[in-house]
Amino acid sequence: MNVYFDNAASTRVREEAAEVMLRILKEEYGNPSSTHYMGRNAAAELAAARQSVAEALGARPEDVYFTSGGTEADNWAVLCCCEALARKGRHIITSAIEHDAVLQPVKKLERDGWEVSYLAPDEAGRISEDAFVDALREDTVFASIMYVNNETGAMNPLSGYSREIKRRGLGTVLHTDAVQGFCKIPFNVKTLGADLVSVSAHKIHGPKGIGALYVKPGITIPPMLYGGGHESGKRPGTEALPSAAGFGEAARLGREELDQTAAFARKLRDYVISRIADEIPQAVFIGEGDSPFILSVSVPGHKSEILMSFLESEGICVSNSAACKKSARSRVLEAMPLEKDVVDGALRLSFSRYNTLDEAEFFALTLKQASETLIQA
């Protein structure tokens, strides 16, 4: 049996999105900036895709800008927003559990003289509202805290951070990487509280290489790239229309099916937890399961990379950290108050609408076999 439990890294492109992309590639190949009828047709397709992504965010289409993915959206938000705010202050708040697409740009700013507060997660993997409040200062001009952690599924209280910023009358711009929450956890940009929101298509059964950044009206963010006037002058370069159309279709269907998909993911996650608890009593479940799509579980005494190799030999794909870390030890789990052997034996499972209970059963039994067969570290 082939089991793909690594959907937080990337998802299977759904048929509906692939069909839209193929139609655009074959029929609507004009440049959206061209003024002839083929260009106008392409521009209409681009507008429809933007509308779909905006509706899934609860935003206006004119506030959503297409990017090459979540990483570009994060880099753009961090680097360019801070550039625009530098005269007002040079203090940034972020966390020790952010994706590298946020942490690396922040570290670059730190090397350039910015002061950064790196907040530590609590035992549930969350960045508490109290921790954020304590770090917030008069000269804090920018903060970036992810909405749903990509390794533990912990959800952070963005709206609480936003309320405190408003209560103090600060001009702090709040950004969130919402890649793991978009079309999975119910939210809209108004209630979320963030001024800048990054999302990506390939986490919601859309294509790789396309994402978006929501920019709240009134927020000044200069472009990161320079060239033409595409994306309202914010992101030059001819838009990747087939990918944008696939993103739009995935977002439209993801929004419509969110409740049903999330309920199934919760059922699947609960089943996996129950079966692992029965078969491997020593297993440790990390975090409190805020997102039904992500489960972090450890088999202390074993190395995660060895467990992963055994599982892969049986056709099961999981990870032990973010995909971009190439199986390195998870710094997210290292930042949490966990025992070393728990971190060393941790696996990340992440689910989608295409997984099954039979796959969950096969995984639990195979992990039990691994825990009984492999020599402990």
Amino acid at 229: G
Cα gap 117→121, rounded to integer Å? 13
Cα gap 164→71, rounded to integer Å? 27
Contact 203, 293 (CB under 8 A): no
User: Is 317 an annotated catalytic residue?
Assistant: no
Largest CA distance in the chain: 67
Contact 3, 359 (CB under 8 A): yes
Contact 83, 222 (CB under 8 A): yes
Residue 373, Cβ neighbours under 10 Å: how many? 8
Q: Please report, to the nearest 10 degrees, the dihedral formed by the alpha carbons of residues 47, 32, 212, 320 taken in order.
A: 120
* Chain position carrying tokens 């450890």: 298
SS3 content of the chain, % helix, strand, coil (to 5): 45, 15, 40
Residue 285 β-bridge partners:
297
Residue 119 β-bridge partners:
95
Contact 296, 116 (CB under 8 A): no
Which run of H or of E encompasses 285?
A: strand 284-286
Closest C-alpha among 203, 206, 162 to residue 181: 203
What angle, 0 to 180 degrees and rounded to 10, lies between the N-to-C axes of helices 241-279 and 37-57? 30
Given the residues 82, 183, 317, 324, select the one marked as catalytic.
324
The residues annotated as belonging to the active site are 324
